[in-house]
Chains A and B, each alone.
Chain A
Amino acid sequence: MRYLPKSDAERKEMLATLGMDSIERLYAHLPKEVLLDRPLSIAPGKSEYEIIDWFRARGDENAVGYACFLGAGAYYHYRPVMCDVVVSRGEFLTSYTPYQAEMAQGTLTTIFEFQTMICQLTGMDVANASMYDGSSAIPEAAMMAMRITGRHKVLVARTVHPEYRAVLATYAKYQGVPVAEIAYDPETGKLDLDDLAAKLDAQTAAVIIQSPNFFGCLEDTAKIAALAHSKGALLVFSFAEAVSLGLLEPPHEADIVVGEMQSFAHPPSYGGPYAGIVATKEKYMRQLPGRLAGETKDSAGNRAFCLTLSTREQHIRREKATSNICTNQALIALMATVFMSVYGKQGLRELAVQNLSKAHYLAGGLPLRFSGPFFNEFAVSTNGKSPEAVNEALLSQKIVGGLPLGKYYPELSGCLLLCATEMSRREQMDKVKGAIL
């Protein structure tokens, strides 16, 4: 087999040093009752060519050659060629978590750069090396807020991604953490400040919002922060569309920022792998979950990097750790780092402006459901037609339309969530408009 670099003669030679005449002897000490007495029922090994062919056939059963106006936590953005070039280097692709700093300075340096750029984008002081994704970063932030405040209740805006809220609910349910949802203003599509004020109390550890929110609208972060802080709660700010950070004012007022980096170089890939982040103020640094790279010196006095503050982590603190996270999403974070380097300060802004412009072109003339300012996504009323019927009509034009919102918000069953990015073309957007109007 091509992945096993030994000849039978070498196997025999190695077995001989062990005093064994057959390779089966290696597990002869296992209890007989546990041994599998038949071959695994999996087809025999296939060639590279057959494997590529099989997956290509599966890909062709999916939506190939369609324009797509879905966002909702997974965004279509152009991926600079450089991103795959860098992550395809075996020294990055096939390396391990950089515990041995002397032979992992490459990974450690890029993590340090990633952490720095996340801080610059979010306005926070420290950021970790990555979390699994945007959704699982939310409960991690909630638990962090509970540790910091010593409180045990969590408020989450209904405008946070429904699947992110579902993940929070799973984590919270089994820890006995009460989670209440904050309503949105049916006019603006933004969090309802009065509902927040009514639900905040002295046991609220965190208020969790997303901006741009699930409807694409910008939340009033400063006002929400002021309300939360007035009751001693922390503000957890999350984002699902990282490109928005190129243009939007960073959430300085937040205490913890979590988010999803998929937009920076990873294709939607049917939901993963993506990369989450957690960033915070310096004073909460020691409550961060996950890995952190820090700057130090080597014994020759040169700048060097290593993983640090590991006394927060599971391999040292075991059941008292800040999180159980171990493996994270390093290579996806590296892709994002390359993406951020390629675009740079000007490019991220220009990219964000293109997204904003395309989305506003698409929205032009359509019956918008909400009045709040939006970035590259928005909810639209489908003009008396069912959202599903609009999508069906678009499919015949090789266009995947928007996300019908009724599944997650029954009161919005007549609405579609549409997203446009720099990859959306004007003529396709015109077709989408045509199907709705």
Chain B
Amino acid sequence: MPGKTRNHISQNEALLFEMSSPGKKGYQLPDLDVPVVDAAAVLGTENTREEITDFPEVSEVEVIRHFTRLSTWNYGIDLGLFPLGSCTMKYNPRVNETVARTEGLAWAHPYQPESLSQGALKIAVELEQALAEITGMDAVTLQPAAGAHGELTGVLLIRALLESRGNPRKKIIIPDSAHGTNPATAALAGYGVANLKSNDKGLVDVEALAKLVDEDTAALMVTNPNTIGVFEEDIVKVTSLMHSKGALVYMDGANMNALVGITRPGDFGIDVMHLNLHKTFSTPHGGGGPGAGAVAVKAHLEPFLPIPRVVRIGEMLRLDENRPQSIGRVRAFLGNYGVLIRALAYIMAHGGPGLRNATLDALLNANYIRKALEPYFDLPYTNPSMHECVFSDDRQAAKGVKTMDIAKRLIDYGFHPYTVAFPLIVHGALMIEPTETESKAELDAFIEAMIAIAKEVESDASFVLKAPYHTRTPRVDETTAARKPVLRWKPQPAVNKAAD
């Protein structure tokens, strides 16, 4: 089979503002069936603008070409393997896009009467139940808009519960392998952060944790499998230890794709966790969202969940806001509802047994890659991998080539890079998560590319340093972007005719 990449032509593309010309139109509105109102007369001249200065004026044809051309400068799962560790970039089934656009759902107003929202509420209930079953938890809120938003919700729930017991406590323990959102969230919820150093296996150090946890500790935020893709083997000890000190355990569910159908966080002592529906449940990442960060809790946290809760009263599903212990709202309305529809469609397509099979294939793919690349890249932690494997660039760095350089060279081979330089406990990390939706042929092509790069580093390290070579855009100068920020387009200053 031929390799993936090949040079091909590419055009430049102006920005919308640069192709704008006064009077060009890409729209036509229907004629008004009511008298036109003079804006300045009813709103006052001080309240109305003359025009939106420099706003583009382009035609419909230019719009479709502009965005279509730009799209070809992007890489997506539809083009191939997207092995970003911790991000679970799996295939996004298109039927989910179709059902999210169902007329009665897409055009449902959040304030339309409950009697005319039963279908929408039923979808929410079905999803809550499925997620509770998958996580082994007792109740689920669908309101948070993304993983970090779910984390904040979860930590506020912990705070509310502890407050109701008389003392919210002061700090949250976070392993040094955690995602950056964990400490940022703890701070946002008004907690101090106590850093827990991982043990020599990259896992939670139970003895160190026992020393760190005290009566000021509100919770431990743990990711399981952790960010090196390893299941926390002492997780039951860890959760019991925290509970024995009156503290709770939050689980970052970013890596839930490794566990679905095999084990449930609720069964190993987790009190509260979030799920990234845009990871595990395959809603499209869309270049950075929308996601959804459903939060699942044990019964003792249920009274504190955000309002409204969907409840069944008789035959009717209703939105209940009368929850005196609730932390309140974390977002307007019911959350990223369209994303919830997609997640439920994904769960329905797999079904219970199918979800477990997907997990097994995710584990198989990660371990297959690990086995094939182990001879070429340093594996700092050798305990069994779950859904992702994490190498270090130690061998290549000895030749002056860092993980980011390898990543850029991987682009030349037609793949999106793995996650670079994370987690922080691995020096120069290459964090690889293939997910279950990759064929053996795609994995083999990726492995071949990685091995080829490892060999290039041996034979001509300086060549790798200047990659990528085959992309439309060679290496981008991020340093200048940060030093002299240009965050918007502005018209060029008018040319001085006299000087010409």
Contact = CB atoms under 8 A, between A and B. Distances in A.
Interface in B3-49: 12-13, 15-17, 20, 23-27, 29-30, 32-37, 39, 42-44, 46-49
Interface string A338-353: 1011111111111111
Interface string B373-390: 000000000011010000
B33 A426 contact: yes
B210 interface: no
A327 interface: yes
B489 A116 contact: yes
Contacts of A39: 261, 352-353, 356
A58 B180 CA distance: 39
A240 B33 CA distance: 26
Interface string A70-104: 10111010001010111111111111111111111
B185 interface: yes
A176 interface: yes
Interface stretch (A149-157, A198-206, A292-300): A292-300
A386 interface: no
B37 A14 contact: no
A421 to B, nearest CB: 11
Contacts of A129: 288
Contact of A64 (B74, B103, B122, B260): B103
Interface stretch (A25-33, A181-189, A229-237): A25-33
Contacts of A3: 91, 93, 282, 349-350, 358, 436-437
A171 B330 CA distance: 8
A254 B130 CA distance: 45
A409 interface: no
B113 A91 contact: no
Interface string B132-153: 0110100000000111110110
B402 to A, nearest CB: 15
B181 interface: yes
A145 B97 CA distance: 38
Contact of B134 (A13, A40, A309): A40
Contact of A89 (B17, B68, B111, B472): B68
B103 A120 contact: no
Contacts, number: 677
Given A27-B231, A59-B102, A319-B187, 6 more contacts: A29-B231, A58-B102, A105-B472, A120-B55, A316-B180, A422-B30
B63 A341 contact: yes
Interface in B162-198: 179-181, 183-190, 193
Contact of B332 (A6, A27, A164): A164
B111 A72 contact: yes
Contacts of B106: 267-269
Contacts of A272: 145, 290, 331, 333-339
B109 A270 contact: yes
Given A109-B13, A173-B328, A319-B183, A52 B98 contact: yes
A270 B333 contact: yes
Given A106-B72, A246-B52, A4 B184 contact: no
A77 to B, nearest CB: 11
Nearest to A427: B33
B181 A425 contact: no
- Which of A64, A324, A329 counts the most B-chain CB atoms under 10 A from its CB? A324
A68 to B, nearest CB: 6
A74 to B, nearest CB: 5
B288 A97 contact: yes
Interface stretch (B243-251, B262-270, B391-399): B262-270
Contact of B284 (A76, A94, A403): A94
15 contacts: A3-B358, A3-B437, A29-B383, A44-B353, A48-B349, A55-B102, A58-B119, A74-B109, A82-B63, A101-B476, A130-B289, A133-B145, A321-B180, A329-B145, A426-B33
A281 interface: no
Interface string A365-409: 000000001010000000000000001000100001001000000
A27 to B, nearest CB: 5
B109 to A, nearest CB: 5
Contacts of A121: 52, 55
Contact of B487 (A84, A86, A293): A293
A144 interface: no
B333 A163 contact: yes
A112 interface: yes
Contacts of B179: 315
A92 B183 contact: no
Contact of A330 (B286, B330, B333, B442): B286
A115 B488 CA distance: 6
B186 A42 contact: no
Interface in B84-135: 84, 87, 89, 91-93, 95, 97-113, 116-120, 122-123, 130, 133-134
A72 to B, nearest CB: 6
B104 A59 contact: yes
A166 B439 CA distance: 47
A365 to B, nearest CB: 13
Nearest to A320: B187
A341 B334 contact: no
A248 B152 CA distance: 35
Given A57-B119, A102-B411, A107-B74, A350 B440 contact: no
Nearest to B372: A17
